[in-house]
Amino acid sequence: MIVSALLTSVGINLGLCVLFFALYSVLRKQPCNLKVYAPRLVAEGRAGKRSHFNIEGLLPSAGWVRRAWQPSEDELLNSCGLDGVVFNRIFIFSLRVFSVAAIIGIFVLLPVNYLGDHLRDIDFSDLPNKSLDLFTISNVKDSSNWLWVHFSAAYFITGVVCYLLYAEYKYISNKRIAHFSSSKPQPHHFTVLVRDIPSHGRSSLSDTVEAFFMDYHPSEYLASTVVCRTSKLRGLITDTENLYRRITHLKSRPSSSQNQSHTGFLGLFRKNGDLMGHYEKKLEDLKQNVRLQQSDTSTGREEVPAAFVCFRSRYGAAKALHIRQSTNPTEWVTEHAPEPHDVYWPFFSTSFTQRWISKLVVLVASVLLIVLFLLVVAFVQGLTYLEQLEALLPFLKNILKITVVSQIVTGYLPSLLLHLVASLVPPIMKLFSAMQGYIAISEIEKSACNKMLLFTIWFLFFANVLTGSVTSQFQIFLDPKTIPERLAVAVPTQASFFIAYVVTSWTSLSWELNRTITFISDLISRHCSKTNDDEFQIPSIPYYSEIPRVLLFGLLGFTYFLLAPLILPFILVFFCIGYIIYRNQLLNVYQPKYDTGGRFWPIVHNSTIFSLILMQIIAVGIFGLKKLPLASSLILPLPAVTLLFNDYCRKRFLPIFHDFSAETLIKKDREDRNDPAMEEFLDKLVAAYRDPALMPIRHLTNSNDRTSPLLSSEV
Amino acid sequence: MIVSALLTSVGINLGLCVLFFALYSVLRKQPCNLKVYAPRLVAEGRAGKRSHFNIEGLLPSAGWVRRAWQPSEDELLNSCGLDGVVFNRIFIFSLRVFSVAAIIGIFVLLPVNYLGDHLRDIDFSDLPNKSLDLFTISNVKDSSNWLWVHFSAAYFITGVVCYLLYAEYKYISNKRIAHFSSSKPQPHHFTVLVRDIPSHGRSSLSDTVEAFFMDYHPSEYLASTVVCRTSKLRGLITDTENLYRRITHLKSRPSSSQNQSHTGFLGLFRKNGDLMGHYEKKLEDLKQNVRLQQSDTSTGREEVPAAFVCFRSRYGAAKALHIRQSTNPTEWVTEHAPEPHDVYWPFFSTSFTQRWISKLVVLVASVLLIVLFLLVVAFVQGLTYLEQLEALLPFLKNILKITVVSQIVTGYLPSLLLHLVASLVPPIMKLFSAMQGYIAISEIEKSACNKMLLFTIWFLFFANVLTGSVTSQFQIFLDPKTIPERLAVAVPTQASFFIAYVVTSWTSLSWELNRTITFISDLISRHCSKTNDDEFQIPSIPYYSEIPRVLLFGLLGFTYFLLAPLILPFILVFFCIGYIIYRNQLLNVYQPKYDTGGRFWPIVHNSTIFSLILMQIIAVGIFGLKKLPLASSLILPLPAVTLLFNDYCRKRFLPIFHDFSAETLIKKDREDRNDPAMEEFLDKLVAAYRDPALMPIRHLTNSNDRTSPLLSSEV
């Protein structure tokens, strides 16, 4: 890619960004769009009502940027939970790191690269037609002493990143402890999930659980709820809900005055009445059936050998959690209980064989996904090399000769395609994780986040870098000695592709801001199907797709820091835009569905360490290729030190993200001892972990997001 | 190797075995050898006194075999602890497995191999001069259907081994729980070792510990002992001990009547008196110094940030152990406390940097050890190929032409050399482990056991199998696809070497029975230096060298089960002899130094699983080489199933070997609650974890095995 192609791409994307931002600020002001752009505020009744039409509302403004910028971290914590804060800290951390990196990159490394030309003539003429390679390390002469600048930069940036990582890990773990200390008593602090309860045949599972915990934890045990298999009932309730929704939808039609003529037309109203009667009878039948099933399961319950066991204190629950309960380690297995609304109930309904089979299905599906995406990546790869594409599709030859077209095709189209295809993956990954048998939605999303991270790093980075067949890609890992060298050869060649990718990502951020898909579907539904206005869902932020996406840019920044520092300012711009946009979305659009207490941070930390190590490995290879073996060997202590640092962080901070210490728990329990509200809380605790499918039928429509929580999230 | 060479080797070794056994039964009956052959019985006063000379005592008898055979497992448990029982179970398990394997190997696989000759003529003539290769799988024709017999045998033996492994794991874990349940209250059940105690500057560490545990465990906390740095004091005490021993030695000389004339001769008696006075003055000085140091450390103690914290109940200790105590995970780190006499005190004396350096030293030393042993193995390897040796040392040509010499050199010498060299490694490995910073002698020995296992498998198996340079050996693991094939090519070629190795190992077992080295050194010391008769040490069995040694034969048995079943009867004989000999030694010679409660078994289990997987991998390669690709692919599920089985065992049994469940602990605590002896026990508990270096000086000579426990073990 030449400089002018890059500039074209930057121009297009900047233009699109500004356009989208302006569009957003206009659309945001229209009251009819409030449900798309501020569903949270609407739900919380904080959305200011304005008159129907206003000329000011059609003028773009930057007020939303100010409103997104202003709130302090404590306000963010109150509004979005610790997970929201952690997500925000990813941007702050990245901004800090890449500010330092960009300063070094642009003012130190870039001049060295550019002046390191073999010809040694400083020539700024005809800059637009020069290749971007001039700005990369490949422009520096072999065994040039200037490479020691790169060497020092590698050491310096590793030091800076490790310091910032440590500070951030410490900051977030302190936040986590403070958040816990200041939190009100919550059911999951007092509860433990017990799995693999042995059945004795004679007594019911509830009695067994009661007897066991009364025996060994007499002073601490409070109550227990045995989980029941409710898949049938769940199906019935979903049917009832759908029918109920259809009826309310039908009912709303004739009552809305503006549609009266339309519905009366052609006798549709008459037909509606018939349909209504039919539906209402069916609904009554279904409701009856649900009630029957609920009472049925209450008497002759099909119990699952799992129970939520509640204790009188947090420390009591911790004891049951951390000390192996039964002599047989495969019985009475205890786990952290998730928050009550975070429990993924369908999992308990599946039998052991079903879970076994679904795990196999996940395995096969993953393999298919890998093959599918490698094909896509191979195609996208081809686009950056126009000659290959021309050879493949000769009829395009004439079109591709037009400069603008070729620039768009090489600079914009490949990364747009990748963005699009990659956006299909997160829901699939989430489905895979759900099939693996996690008992909490947060656990499913955390697992999906890890899967997505692997996928992102492998398919968006390695598959693009290591061109060639799948087997040849994997073979690099079978021959570890050559990894640095092969990466050092392959990574720089893709610099221009990734610079273009970073630039296009700006636009994809504005898509997120505009919630384009939601907006269009809302537009269609409002003007065509006229659904009930009160029915709308507040989405929750899909951390499992957003975090890996953001982390990829960190990976790109680190790996190209030494090779092609030109990428750094573009990445910095990405993080700036992202910071504002995601703050805006967190405050206005998304509502937290669960609170993991910042457990996503260790994923971010590990990913950053991985990126650092990758950078160092590539540095080893680069200095080897550039015939500076001394630098190549002197870089080797760097990954070792980084790994030691990571090991220290694992010991120092990771346990805090798993569970709280006796010190913290006992202190908190002591505080509560004098709280008169505790009695009431403990009374309520007993009922907290009831399967929503067993709730009385009048809650049906309200328990919507409880019965099928997985489906309620935005995809 | 040809059959006659094998028979020569068997003959020599059987002869030596019988000779050694007879020698043992004679020597064992001599009262003067009681301290070598039954030090335990002597120490326990159970050694029957006999008249000085007896004609019966010079006739070999087999009474000791009966006496070793007779005791039941419970008697063994009482006498040698659970670790002794586990060691004994290794033999029982191996005998069971290899009885089945030998029956299949000899009656099914061996005939198939022998008849699978390409010529298909059953020819028993000139058997002695036939190669052992006739009995291996290499004799079976390519893609012969007879190979399906081997295929079925692989499946069958895997099933049998997995069943027996499961049964054994279950048996031993039940034993472990029963042993704990029936045990008297022991200090280490009630104690937790706390490391990394934060210092506040103002108060002493003891006060900090007291305050912390009184605050968070008020009802359970009993007392605590902060560890002190006593390396200086330890040195002084050792000096004092040595001096004391020298003085008593000098004292014993003039008093022994038979030496009177000898010592009086040449005025040595006079000289002795002078020396004595000098020594006694020096001893008094040292004693004074020790007392001063002890009081010094009592007032201005140099405390180490580690403490033994005792609790009122086992469950109380478990709570402190399993729940993270402090908000900062690197402070107040709790660990299992070892038994009081199992604590490795010198470790606490080393500073952090000392430990860091010693870890580096261990790393460098390990590398040196690897290089050294590869050279030895390469030399030993050469011996089995006479031609190579002849080429190397041409002057040997004539000697090697003599049949007996060549048979001894090929059949006996190489494995004898390996045995000798390998016996040097265990003390080195133990030293390495001690430098790594374990706080218990049992932990050091367990770690040394793992190191020895790795060493044994790598150097005695792989280095012998994969001839060639070190790098080429490691390269096999960089190309995992070819591992089965390369092993299948390499392993069978070494069959005759390993058969010879197994046969020589019989003799090395008789060495163990005769305790040759101890016997000789005892003989020398008795007749030359005339040391004090009452002073002798009861050795403890070095599990860390014996267990890997025994497990190697399991590995050989599994890997050669399909390839060269001829090895199986020899292995069976090894286990039979070993069973009797080690029972005899456990009952008469060794005294347990610590009780890990059978924690060595998981090592045995893992090693057996490894051997099984190796057998299966080799089977994959063999069927591939023999052009039976269907069998090669159909073997593949076998390792997967074995690993799944291992995973299940890890979940089902391994936690039992780490710690006891709440159920077990609470039951045991409840039993004790009514025991009047408990109060007394708890009183004594406070003093149980005092550093022996701080004990009053009058205990000096008795605390011999406490102050330097590492040195007191037999090497």
- What number of CA atoms fall less than 13 Å from residue B394's CA on the CB side? 0
Structure tokens given for A404: 């603008």
Q: How far is CA A292 from the centre of its chain?
A: 40
The token duo for A566 is 């030109």
Of B478, B656, B663, the CB nearest to A480: B478
Cβ distance A153 to A614 under 8 Å?
no
Torsion from C-alpha of B233, B235, B241, B243, nearest 10 degrees: -120
Same domain, A555 and A667: yes
Query: Is A373 found in the same domain as A296?
Result: no
Q: What is the torsional sign of CA A354, A360, A363, A365? A: negative
> Is the per-residue pLDDT at A267 higher than 70?
no
Asked if the structure places residue A682 within a domain, the reply is no
Nearest residue of B to residue A667, measured between CA atoms: B216
Which helix (H) or strand (E) element contains residue A297? helix A268-299
Chain B residues whose beta carbon lies within 8 Å of the beta carbon of residue A652: 328-330
Instruction: Tell me if B329 is assigned to some domain.
Output: no
Which A-chain residues 200-259 have CB contacts (< 8 A) with chain B?
Answer: 216
d(CA B113, CA B99): 20
Q: Is residue B704 part of a domain?
A: no
Token pair belonging to B224: 């605590």
One domain for residues A173 and A232:
no
Shortest distance between the Cα of A649 and any Cα of chain B, in A, equals 10
Q: How far is A487 from chain B (nearest CA, A)?
A: 18
Secondary structure class of B117 (helix, strand, coil): coil
Give the count of beta carbons closer than 10 Å to the beta carbon of residue A535: 12
Q: Do A418 and A519 sit in the same domain of this protein?
A: yes
B479 contacts A329? CB cut-off 8 A: no
Measure the CA–CA gap between A489 and A480, rounded to whole angstroms.
15
Chain B residue with minimum CA distance to A481: B478
- Chain A residues whose CB is inside 8 A of the B314 CB are none
Q: How far is B324 from chain A (nearest CA, A)?
A: 5
**Cα distance between residue A354 and residue A435, in whole Å:** 10
Measured in angstroms, the CA of B124 and the nearest CA of chain A are apart by 49
Hey, what are A529's tokens?
């199907």
* B324 reaches A (C-beta below 8 A): yes
Q: Are residues A555 and A457 in the same domain?
A: yes
- Residue A242 covered by a domain: yes
| Beta-carbon separation of A661 and B318 below 8 A | no
Angle of CA points A561, A564, A570, to nearest 5°: 80
Q: For residue range A207-219, list pLDDT tens digits in order.
A: 899 999 999 999 8
Predicted complex ipTM: 0.81
Within a 13 Å sphere around the CA of A715, how many CA atoms are in the beta-carbon half? 10
Number of other residues whose CB lies within 10 A of the CB of residue B263: 16
DSSP 8-state secondary structure symbol assigned to residue A184: P
Nearest to B663 among A319, A325, A479 (CB): A325
Q: Is B652 on the interface with A (CB under 8 A)?
A: yes
Structure tokens at B365: 């030393």
Cβ-based contacts of A320 with chain B (< 8 Å): 662
B327 vs A: CB within 8 A: yes
Q: Is residue A160 part of a domain?
A: yes
Q: Which of A325, A478, A654 is closest, CB to CB, to B662?
A: A325
Q: How many CB pairs under 8 A join A and B?
A: 85
Q: Say if residue A181 is in the same domain as residue A193.
A: no
> Which of B478, B656, B666 is closest, CB to CB, to A329?
B656
Q: Tell which of B311, B327, B360 to mutate to test the A interface (max A CBs under 10 Å).
A: B327
Q: Are A105 and A617 in contact (CB under 8 A)?
A: no
Closest chain B residue to the Cα of A655, Cα to Cα = B329
Starting at the edge strand found earlier in the chain, the sheet holding A303-311 runs A221-228, A303-311, A191-195, A333-336
DSSP structure string for B370-412 = HHHHHHHHHHHHHHHSHHHHHHH-GGGHHHHHSHHHHHHHHHT
Kindly give the residue spans of alpha helices, DSSP state H, lying in A126-255.
147-182, 205-216, 231-255
Judged by a CB distance cut-off of 8 A, whether residue A327 touches chain B is: yes
A38-51 residue pLDDT tens: 888 887 777 665 55
Asked whether the beta carbons of residue A324 and residue B662 sit closer than 8 angstroms, the reply is yes
A327/B664 Cβ within 8 A = yes
User: What are the tens digits of pLDDT across the range A474-486?
Assistant: 666 666 777 888 8
Rounded-to-integer distance, Cα A150 and Cα A628, Å: 12
Average pLDDT over residues A481-510: 83
Q: Work out the average pLDDT over A7-16.
A: 87
A74 touches chain B (CB under 8 A): no
Name the band, by pLDDT with cuts 50, 70 and 90, for residue A92: very high
Secondary structure (DSSP) of A334-386: EEEPPPGGGB-HHHHHS-HHHHHHHHHHHHHHHHHHHHHHHHHHHHHHHHHSH
Q: Which B positions 330-349 lie with beta carbon below 8 A of chain A?
A: 330
pLDDT surpassing 70 at residue A111: yes
CA distances from B318 to A41, A309, B181, B224, B712 (A): 49, 21, 16, 16, 32
In this structure, the answer to whether residues A341 and A388 fall within a common structural domain is no
Say how far apart CA B270 and CA B248 lie, in whole Å.
Answer: 17
* Among B651, B656, B662, beta carbon nearest to A323: B662
Residue A679 lies in a domain: no
Residues of B in contact with A655 (CB under 8 A): 324, 329
- pLDDT tops 80 at residue A468: no
* pLDDT of amino acid A297: 53
Identify the residue among B166, B661, B665 best suited for mutation to test binding to A, counting A beta carbons within 10 A and taking the highest.
Answer: B661
Closest CA to A661 of B150, B253, B540, B334: B334
Spatial CB neighbours of B459, under 8 Å, sequence gap ≥ 6? B373, B374, B377, B422
Beta carbons of A546 and A453 less than 8 angstroms apart = no
Q: Do B117 and B134 contact (CB within 8 A), yes or no?
A: yes
**Within this chain, do residues A453 and A553 fall inside the same structural domain, yes or no?**
yes
A277-287 tens-digit pLDDT: 777 788 788 77
The residue type found at A57 is G
- Is some CB atom of chain B closer than 8 A to the CB atom of A326? yes
Which residues on B lie below 8 Å from A666 (Cβ)?
216
Residue B334 covered by a domain: no
Residue of A nearest to B328 (CA): A652
pLDDT for the residue B161: 96
Mean pLDDT of A94-120: 85
How do beta strands B303-311 and A333-336 pair? unpaired
Specify the amino acid at residue B13.
Answer: N
How far apart CA A696 and CA A290 sit, in angstroms, is 9
Q: Do A327 and B652 touch (CB under 8 A)?
A: no
- Considering the domain architecture, whether residues A175 and A191 belong to the same structural domain is answered as no
Q: Is the confidence at residue A598, as pLDDT, over 80?
A: yes
Q: B327–A655: do the CB atoms touch at under 8 Å? A: no
Instruction: Tell whether the model's pLDDT for residue A240 goes beyond 70.
Output: yes
pLDDT in the model for residue B119: 45
Q: Please, which residues 577-606 of chain B have a Cβ atom closer than 8 Å to chain A?
A: none
Write down the residue that tokens 């991998």 correspond to: B617
- Give the tokens for residue A159: 């030091």
> How far apart are alpha carbons B40 and B586 in whole angstroms?
9
* Tokens found for residue B600: 């060595």
Split into its structural domains, chain B has a count of 1
Chain B residue numbers touching A651 (CB-CB < 8 A): 329-330
Q: What is the mean pLDDT of residues A243-271?
A: 58
Residues B306, B195: Cα–Cα separation, whole Å = 4
Q: Rounded to an integer, what distance in angstroms lies between the CA atom of residue B439 and that of residue B334? A: 13
A663, A664, A665, best to mutate vs chain B, most B CBs in 10 Å: A663
In a domain, A681, yes or no: no
H helix count then E strand count, chain A: 35, 4
Q: Which of residues 448-507 of B touch A (CB under 8 A)?
A: 478-481
- Cα B226 to Cα B220: distance, rounded to the nearest angstrom: 18
**What's the DSSP call for residue B310?**
E
Q: Measured between alpha carbons, how far is A65 from A58 in angstroms, rounded to an integer?
A: 17
Looking at chain A, which residue has its C-alpha nearest residue B650? A329
Query: How many C-beta atoms surround the C-beta of residue B22 within 10 A?
Result: 14
Contacts of B665 in chain A (CB under 8 A): 323
Token code pair at residue A196 = 């693999």
Shortest Cα–Cα distance, A653 to chain B (Å): 7
Q: What are phi and psi of A324, to 5 degrees?
A: -60, 130
Q: Which residues contact A345 (CB under 8 A, 6 or more apart)?
A: A230, A234, A691, A692, A693, A707
Nearest CA-CA distance, residue A667 and chain B, Å: 9
> Do A82 and A131 have their domain in common?
yes
- Cβ-Cβ contacts under 8 Å for B571 (sequence gap 6 or more): B98, B102, B502, B553, B556, B557
Check residue B707 and give its pLDDT: 38
Which pLDDT belongs to residue A177?
A: 93
Tell me the CA distances in angstroms from A26 to A232, A525, A581, one per residue in order: 47, 21, 16
Full 3-state SS string of A197-229: CCCCCCCCHHHHHHHHHHHHCCCCEEEEEEEEC
Which of A208, A215, A323 best tests the B interface by mutation, with the highest count of B CBs <10 A?
A323
**Alpha-carbon torsion, ordered A423, A426, A432, A437, to 10 deg:** -170
Residues in chain B closer than 8 A to A654 (CB atoms): 329
Q: Considering only the beta carbons, identify the residue of B322, B481, B653 that sits closest to A323.
A: B322
Query: Which structural domain, as residue segments, surrounds residue A105?
Result: 3-185+354-673
Q: What is the pLDDT of residue B235?
A: 81
Are the Cβ atoms of A322 and B323 closer than 8 angstroms? Answer: yes
Residue A416 shares a structural domain with residue A285: no
The pLDDT of residue A150 is 92
Average pLDDT value for residue range A383-391: 64
From the list B322, B328, B665, which residue is nearest A322 (CB)? B322
What are the average pLDDT values for consecutive 10-residue runs of chain B, which has 715 residues?
Answer: 81 89 85 80 70 66 84 89 93 96 92 70 63 79 87 94 96 94 90 87 85 91 86 80 78 52 48 71 79 64 84 92 90 90 81 74 83 74 64 70 72 71 81 85 91 83 68 62 81 84 86 81 74 66 90 93 91 93 90 89 95 93 88 90 91 91 92 87 87 65 39 34
Amino acid at B22: A
DSSP secondary structure, B228-242, as one string: E--HHHHHHHHHHHH
Same domain flag for A102 and A122: yes
